[in-house]
Amino acid sequence: MEHLSTLDWWVVGFFMVLFVGLGLYFRGKPEGGLAGFFLGGRKLPWYIAGVSMVATTFAADTPLWVTEKIAQHGISGNWLWWNMAIGGMLTTFFFARLWRRAEIITELEMLELRYSGPVAVFLRGLRAVYLGLFMNVVIIGWVNAALISILEVFFDIPYDTAFYFCLAAMFLVAIYSSVAGLLGIAITDFVQFIIAMSGSIILAIVVINLPEVGGISGLKEQLPAWRLDFFPEINSLSNFTVGTFSLSAGAFFSYIVLQWWASWYPGNEPGGGGYISQRMMSAKNEEHAVYSSLFFQIAHYCLRPWPWILVGLAALILYPDLPLEESRKGFVFAMRDHLPSGLKGLLFVGFLSAYMSTISTQLNWGSSYLTNDLYRRFFRPNASNRNYVAAGRIITLLIMLVAMFSTAQIGMIDEAAQFLIASGAGLGMVLILRWYWWRINAWSELSATLAPLLAWALLKYPLKTYLPESFYQQNGDFIATVLFTTVVWLVVTFLTKATDDQLLKDFYAKIRPQGFWKPYRNNEEPPKSTASLFGAWLSGVALVYTTLFALGSWILGEQQEALAWSAGFLIALLFLRFFMKRSDLISQE
């Protein structure tokens, strides 16, 4: 622990007390029921809900992962996640209002609002356990593993010591999360995000200006040009070794055309879902829901990554002998070795802030499913609000205990995570269309959930012997899974009975979705065009990428490129405002 001075420990202690105090002060009250505890009483302004989304995705492992991709592919390696902005903006303009309008407590509650029959009930219960418990503890295991590795490197301590320190931190988070509810978590997220980002910016400024690096000009002189390329190359085969991020035509098609809408996994649910939909449902009104999601997309893709990228680039110069498989440690080494007393403690608090905001949200989100969609739906449908809130708090602590066990199985968690990501391919289109096409039913969603599992098993075992390696290198397995799943759910949809007619009428009357709802639309009501929504979506995507590359060009001193990207940003902003007004996404005042 010698890497932190007495001043650093005072900084750490002060902010730990502040975080717990904020969470407890803004805690949800039992009188507010589950909506009060899990949605903050639906009172969050857009900036609190939006920052809370960003804080949750800013896990302790995120800067380390970016540092590793920088070492492997330079800046272009970030396209592994930058491509997801397309789907994120789709959520903002096509789904944010609908989630808020539904006035439900969890994403899974929507299943029985939209579908009818025993299969809808079964699907809700199944996904409550699958997402709220199994998937949740896998995610918490990821985040805990990252914190453990940070503690090992930062303090130069053995794994067991770092493991128990991590469990103590998770216990602290679980205690205040079980009391605070979403309101306390969101307010704490807001403060934690400011600290985490401030620390990252300070670290980037410090390391870039070290004599060994020599500022931005020295950075550019010492690194090969490909390290600073913003865009991947399109080649015959994908490059997953060292060098500019290269994609085969098949992989490029998968990333840019398919993955953002077809693939489901935590944090990138097509149409929204998980803690993203939870935050949109907690917003004050529909307009705040839209703005919260829009802010999240811009902050997530444009503002967060550049400090991490700069530290990752500087780490290549500061630690040139660091093996590629350990390159992610460069971020922690830079923080440990080059920050003065006080600032070192502040950045360590930043890492703890990122960790705490993610864990608190995962615990609250998982508990909302197990409380509202399992305990309330199947065991105590007529209990009091106090009973449900008490159950939510107890379930939060139980999830923490299961997560402690899962953290000890890090190897198994990694395998499970790969399986879960692979098994979500193809589900996304059903999650999108269930809002916009009346014919989607519970069987559609159930078959789209199960079909990728079958495709994954076939492609991993019996078919792998007969397929060339290039098939997998070009993401052929992902494309094949998406096509297989799509065919399966379409066939199942038309072979099974549609959702109950009265339920569809009620759903349309409550949600008022656009799209293919002619049988349930009032004959006197003209169909609403989705053209303006598509315009807002495309403008929003353009806004994210022009902002991202304009900031990067200004930071790296590429003035001509910066001016060009800045002009593109202004044009995208004007188009976005125009289309948002036409589609009534923002007030006309």
Show the 3-state SS of 24-61: HHCCCCHHHHHHHHHHHHHCECHHHHHHHHHHHHCCCC
Which range has the worst mean pLDDT, 324-338, 519-533, 557-571? 519-533
- The 10 Å Cβ neighbour count of residue 71 is 24
Q: What is the mean pLDDT of residues 549-562?
A: 95
SS (H, E, C) 545-578: HHHHHHHHHHHCCCHHHHHHHHHHHHHHHHHHHH
Report the sign of the C-alpha dihedral through residues 160, 162, 163, 164, in that order. positive
Q: Which tokens hold the place of 50?
A: 């939006």
Is pLDDT of 429 > 80? yes
Is pLDDT of 114 > 50? yes
Q: Classify 136 as helix, strand or coil.
A: helix
Q: Which residues, at least 6 apart from 481, have a Cβ–Cβ distance to it below 8 Å?
A: 422, 425, 426, 452, 455, 456, 459
Give the angle 461-463-464 at the CA atoms, nearest 5°: 65
Specify the pLDDT at position 588. Answer: 43
Per-residue pLDDT band for 413 (boundaries 50, 70, 90) equals low
Position with higher pLDDT, 431 vs 27: 431
Specify the pLDDT at position 51. Answer: 93
Position with higher pLDDT, 96 vs 326: 96
CATH class of domain segment(s) 6-225+252-422: mainly alpha
Roughly what angle, to the nearest 10 degrees, separates helices 159-208 and 329-338?
70
Per-residue pLDDT band for 586 (boundaries 50, 70, 90) equals low
Distance between terminal CA atoms of the chain?
Answer: 56
- The 10 Å Cβ neighbour count of residue 469 is 9
Is pLDDT of 204 > 70? yes
Q: How far apart are CA 136 and CA 359, in angstroms?
A: 10
Q: How far apart are CA 405 and CA 123, in angstroms?
A: 27
Closest CA to 150 of 172, 128, 129, 165: 165
The answer to whether the beta carbons of residues 346 and 202 sit under 8 Å apart is yes
Which range has the worst mean pLDDT, 254-263, 436-445, 573-582? 254-263
Specify the pLDDT at position 29. Answer: 58
Alpha carbon separation from 334 to 71, 207, 221, 305, 448 (Å, rounded): 14, 7, 20, 17, 45
Is pLDDT of 239 > 60? no
Which range has the worst mean pLDDT, 70-79, 109-118, 371-380, 520-529? 520-529
Q: What is the mean pLDDT of residues 431-457?
A: 93
Q: What is the mean pLDDT of residues 569-574?
A: 97
Is pLDDT of 90 > 50? yes
Specify the pLDDT at position 589. Answer: 42
Q: What is the mean pLDDT of residues 149-155?
A: 86
Specify the pLDDT at position 22. Answer: 82
Q: Which tokens hold the place of 377?
A: 């739906």
**351 residue type, one letter:** F
Per-residue pLDDT band for 511 (boundaries 50, 70, 90) equals very high
pTM to 2 decimal places: 0.91
Q: Which tokens hold the place of 458?
A: 């076939």
Q: Which of 29-43, 166-180, 187-201, 568-582 has the highest mean pLDDT?
A: 568-582
Ramachandran class of 157: left when φ > 0, alpha when ψ lies in -120 to 50, beta otherwise: beta
Is pLDDT of 504 > 80? yes
Provide the residue ranges of all domains of the chain, joining segments of one domain with +: 6-225+252-422
Q: What is the mean pLDDT of residues 298-307?
A: 93
Q: What is the mean pLDDT of residues 405-415?
A: 72
Per-residue pLDDT band for 318 (boundaries 50, 70, 90) equals very high
Which range has the worst mean pLDDT, 26-30, 166-170, 384-388, 439-443? 26-30
Specify the pLDDT at position 528. Answer: 67
Q: Classify 234 as helix, strand or coil.
A: strand
Specify the pLDDT at position 30. Answer: 53
Is pLDDT of 329 > 90? no
Position with higher pLDDT, 303 vs 235: 303
- The 10 Å Cβ neighbour count of residue 487 is 12
Q: Which helix (H) or strand (E) holds 410?
A: helix 410-422
Q: How far apart are CA 459 and CA 426, in angstroms?
A: 15
Tallying the residues shown for the chain, one arrives at 589
SS3 content of the chain, % helix, strand, coil (to 5): 75, 0, 20
If you search the block for the tokens 């007619």, which residue do you land on?
A: 501
Average pLDDT, the chain: 87
Specify the pLDDT at position 155. Answer: 86
Q: Which tokens hold the place of 267?
A: 């944090």
Q: Which helix (H) or strand (E) holds 246?
A: strand 246-248
Q: How far apart are CA 196 and CA 63, in angstroms?
A: 11
The answer to whether the beta carbons of residues 186 and 44 sit under 8 Å apart is yes
Q: How far apart are CA 534 and CA 523, in angstroms?
A: 25
Distance of CA 139 to the CA centre of its chain: 11
